[in-house]
Amino acid sequence: MQIAANTRLYGLFGYPLGHTLSPSMHNAALESCGIDAVYLALSVPPEKLAGAMEGLRAFMGGANVTVPHKVSVIPFLDGLTEVAEAVGAVNTIFWEGDRLLGDNTDAPAFRETLRDVDLVGKKALILGAGGAAKAVVHALRQAGIGKISLAARHPDPKAFPLCDLVFFEKEALAPLLKEVDLVVNATPLGLPKNPESPLSREQLATLRDGALVYDLIYTPTSLLSMARERGILVRDGSGMLARQAALSFRRWTGRDCADFFEKSLASRV
């Protein structure tokens, strides 16, 4: 890869970033498509977000956004896509003419990974209340889910008006775990810097037969490891990562490289 004065810049805004597969996947796709551009992981603490957005407007072709900026970045944009507006969170920033817009590719990516699962009328429990949880709620609603419960340390009815909110506490979760068909971990618990599981072995043991545990984290986690030990159906976030990356890439370049991203991710995880 050669970087010159005309090389287009894309990147990932987040803090703290730690290890991320996004640069390697996007750079491989850019090179494969013969696009003169580079994708970088850019550590942007909350107090530097305004400056980073000024830099994006001046120098960049677009960006992905992750924790903790998926909601706080919205005021810096000129508008939102219909999906991002409905979700209330942004993970992709792109240009449409001279307007800088926000999109959410997390929601359709999550939905796509569950196309083979009948969710109509079913019950789901989401752990976490950040931008990723917002995308999951939207996707599940689109899929015809019957009921969504959401557990958070500080549940906010205004942020999740269509969900049954509970505190992220053992006693509050106990009755829900016995009745839900799907559990989604949308918290940072399970990442290398926070390796503990959001649910214990004892809690997982109370899940009904046929329940599915979905962890949005794409690397191995203790949650999925313990669930597998009990014979529970599991899915990790690798498929969602590849699909949302492909959708972002299409926003920036107009190229459809979904298969490339899935194969690229499989070789890196």
The catalytic site residues sit at: 70
The half-sphere exposure of 16 on its side-chain side, counting CA atoms within 13 A, is 7
* Residue 23 near residue 220, CB atoms below 8 Å: no
